[in-house]
Structures are given as C-alpha cells and as structure tokens.
Structure 1
Amino acid sequence: MAPVAVITGGTAGIGLACAKRIADDGGTVIVSGRGAERGRSALAALDAGDRARYIPADATKRNDVTGLIEETITDHRRIDVLINNAGGVTDTGAHVADADPDALRNAFRLNVESTYWACQAALAHMLPRGYGRIINMSSLAGKTGAAGLSGYTTTKHAIIGLTKTLAKEVTTRGITVNALCPGITDTAMIPDQLAGAITNSGADFSAAAAHYTGDLGRMVTPDEVAGAVAMLISPQGAAISGTALSIDGGFSQF
C-alpha cells in the first residue's frame, strides 16, 4: 500500500524533495508550512494531483501541529510516515558567551518542540495501528560543534537524543524512528546560514563551505537526502530504527 506521508516544512528545499520522491513513488503527501504562496508553488512542483495537499501550519504552535495531523486523519484515515523537516537557524553568528537568551528559546521552539509535538500527535494514530515511520531532520551540526551556531547546534543534538529515546519506546510496536544528518545541502538558506556562522570568525565563506563538504567535495543535494528517506520508509528499512544517518560526504564519519 502506498504511504500517506506528512512533511512539515515541506514546501521547499529538503522537505519538498522528500515530498516529491514519495509522490513520484506513488505515495500521498501532505506538505505543511507558513506561506500560502510557497504552498501553491510546492503543489505545482509536485504535480501529483489529489495525492498532494498543502495544509498551512506553524510548526512552533502545538495546536497547528495537532491540527495538521488530525486533518490528515480526517482525509485519509491514517498516517504512515511523518517527516519532521520544519526548522532552521535562529541565531547565526551567536556564540555561547554573548548569545541572547531568547535566541536559544526560539531555537528550541522551532527545532525541538516542533518535532516533539508532531511525533506525539502522530503516535496517537500510529500506535493503535502498530505501524509508522518517523524521520526527524537533524544535521551535521547534530554530530559536531559549529562555532557561531550555538543554538542551532544544541537543538540538532537534542533531536538525535529525542530520536533515540523514542525509538526505544516504540520500535517494538511496529514504528521506526530515525534521524537524518545532512551536511551542507544545496538549498536557498545555506549561504545565509554559513555567512552568519562565520561572521565573527573572519573566515572566508567559500573556505568554510569547502571545509564542511567533506571528502565529497561538493554540497549534498536535496534529492540525495530524499533517497535516504525513500530507503527508510520502504520495507527494506523496517529493521533500521534509532539511527542518526550521516549524509555529509564523510565529514563526520559516524
């Protein structure tokens, strides 16, 4: 049976690439985000007819997240796949010594709380069925330090902790939970992220980008991340749970 998948932050970049891969493989995708125009553009790019829908939702608001899941259940009677892709950098250039306390709170709300609440809402429907696939988007920054991205790095490590804990809780009940840790990926927000991170270090942007691309020698593509998603939600991925899969050209090597 083709899956019904919900992708938060699914209107662009990695999220949209994941949605397109699932739709191209015959699945039904529900993409969420905060911009109606981006939602319309995403549906046009997906070109999947009634197997694709955009539902506006702010992932930092628990009621929005719950509503997204409930609306999916109303329309499709089930949710097979949850991809928590909503997130981002709220503190470019912020070092721990001088970071604004609100920046850390905002980073946790955007990256960790959004993932936590979406998992909880989806599990209410996955657990009774005894089936589900949850993928949480961490980052290379979830495995290494990154000066100038203190809040982002802290929260991406937290997502891995959440993933491993949740896998211990639900894998025996038919639900796999994994994290993906992409390296520098060719999306629109990467130049701003890197530029902000190195502002206080005096580093050259191109040198920083080259450093974080590892042995691959180029940025990761969104389609490569989507390929990992396709594997994890396939029958061949049923024995993989609690992992934090690096997609970074060999930079982290674990």
Structure 2
Amino acid sequence: MGQIAVITGGTAGIGLACAEKLHEEGATVVMSGRSAERGRKAVARLGSGERARYIPCDVTDPRQIVGLIEETVDEHRRIDVLINSAGGVTDDGRLVEQQDDEALTRAFDLNVNSAFLACRAALPHMLPRGYGRIINMSSLAGKTGVAGLVGYTTAKHALIGYTKTLAKEVTARGVTVNAVCPGITDTEMVSGALRNAIENSGADFGEAAAHYTGDLGRMVEPAEVAVLVATLVSAQSGAISGTAFSLDGGFSQF
C-alpha cells in the first residue's frame, strides 16, 4: 500500500482498528489522540518501527490540528489518507427542552469542526498532487435520531452533509471524500459515554442496543469498520466519493 495515513482519534476504538488494518496493508500510520499513554500503547501494538507514529493532538484546538498535519508532512513529505475518527458523545441524556445553550457547540467542536479543520489543513498537501483519500467517521446517529443525544446526532448528520459538499468540490481534482456510519460498535465509547447518555434519557441501554443493531443482532466490531475504511482509502477507490456508508446490520438500509 505504501500510503501515508493520518488518523485522528487513532489510539483507541475504531480509529485504532483502522490504524492496525492500514499498517497491516503497508501504510505508514500517524495516530493522534490526547493521551500519551494510549499513544505509546497504540504504537507498540502496531509493532513500533518507522511506520507507526503517535502525535498528541486535541482536535478541539485548531492550532493542534494544523500542527498534526504539518508535522506529518515535514516528516514524510506528503499525506495520502486522512481519517477523521476523533469524536464522541458530549450529551448527558437530557432532552432538547432541558439542554443548555452550549449543547450543540460542544458536540460540533468535537465531531464536525475538528474534521473541517483537519481537511482544510490536509487538502493543500493533496490537491497539488491530484491524489487523496478522506474518511469522516459519522455514525448510525448521522442517519437517524436518538433521544437524549441531540448534540451527537445533530453533529453526525452535519458531518455527512459536510462530507458530501467537500466531495463535490474536490473529487474531480483527485481527492475522494466519504463518510462511514457504524451502528452501535463494541468500543469504550459505547460502554461509557453513549451508554450513560442513553440511560440518563430514561431509556434502557440493552433495549436501545437491541433496537439499533438491526438484523445483525449484535454490536459491530471495530475491525469490521476498518475493513471498509481500508477499501475506501485504497488507490483503486477513485470512483467512490460523496457517499455515507452504513454498517449497522441493515437498520438504516440507506
């Protein structure tokens, strides 16, 4: 594969699974996250060496996002793949009428603005070469509403809209942009923030999980998401752009 890939939120969950899969296929992987300890463990899990690197980055800080991209390019002379996997649930289960004024701001900073800023920083290094692959990690919540998760669901819907708009602007210039929308996935976020938000809204997490897993009847595995991502960022995927791919056991069916 030989690509240079930057993965925000790449030290855990879906991001780490994507890092492992791309590294396995020959990519040089730069993983970002806020925890140096997680970063160290992620690099060790990939076998260290010259093809795995951790760069600390808080994606809610625009300067750090620019620094992540620039440091990668300084070291590797290019960036081929950007996977915006950083994100998460900022909601606490409160319903819309109970939310404070900052509910959407928090969710957008983490789930939408971070991807916008990372793409903007990476595109000047992709467009002149006429090549790039961008993946924005949305969610099943980007295709349906979830009570008690107004910030998260609104942000993930917006991320799909951003993906489609950016694809209209850059696909003809060799850069593909797609969104991936996993259903409830077996990650730390599901066992922590997402579970708490759903339960705090008055819903039973087990019932909600059973509902949103669709015909699959189980949670999605991070490695399953990584397989799709690896396909979408391959050099042979140039005709695939502007699409939001569902991995939710047939729940959304679009």
Shift of 1:186: 0.4
CA RMSD of aligned residues (A): 1.0
- Report what 2:38 is aligned to: 38
Secondary structure, aligned partner of 1:18: helix
- TM-score between both structures, scaled by the size of structure 2: 0.97
d(CA) in 1 for partners of 2:205, 2:88: 19
Shifted more, 166-175 versus 45-54: the winner is 45-54
Secondary structure, aligned partner of 2:71: helix
Provide, for residues 114-167 of structure 1, a one-character-per-residue CA deviation record: whole Å limited to 9, x for no partner. 000000000011011110000000000000000100000000000000000000
d(CA) in 2 for partners of 1:94, 1:80: 40
Q: Percent identity, aligned pairs only?
A: 68
One-letter code aligned to 1:89: V
- Report what 2:96 is aligned to: 96
- Report what 1:200 is aligned to: 201
One-letter code aligned to 1:100: D
Shift of 1:48: 4.2
1:13/1:222 contact within 8 Å kept: yes
d(CA) in 1 for partners of 2:87, 2:218: 23
Shift of 1:94: 2.4
One-letter code aligned to 1:14: I
Shift of 1:205: 2.0
1:88/1:111 contact within 8 Å kept: yes
- Report what 2:157 is aligned to: 157
One-letter code aligned to 1:32: S
d(CA) in 2 for partners of 1:208, 1:143: 16
Greater than 4 Å deviation, 4+ residue runs:
none
1:219 and 2:219 are equivalent in the alignment? yes
Secondary structure, aligned partner of 2:82: strand
Secondary structure, aligned partner of 2:50: helix
- Report what 2:114 is aligned to: 114
d(CA) in 2 for partners of 1:107, 1:117: 15
d(CA) in 1 for partners of 2:105, 2:201: 22
1:181 and 2:181 are equivalent in the alignment? yes
d(CA) in 2 for partners of 1:242, 1:200: 33
- Report what 1:4 is aligned to: 4
1:141/1:152 contact within 8 Å kept: yes
d(CA) in 1 for partners of 2:9, 2:41: 13
Shift of 1:197: 1.9
One-letter code aligned to 1:197: I
One-letter code aligned to 2:191: P
d(CA) in 1 for partners of 2:200, 2:161: 29
d(CA) in 2 for partners of 1:234, 1:68: 22
- Report what 2:58 is aligned to: 58
* Structure 1 portions without partners, runs of 5+: none
d(CA) in 1 for partners of 2:111, 2:94: 16
2:57/2:68 contact within 8 Å kept: yes
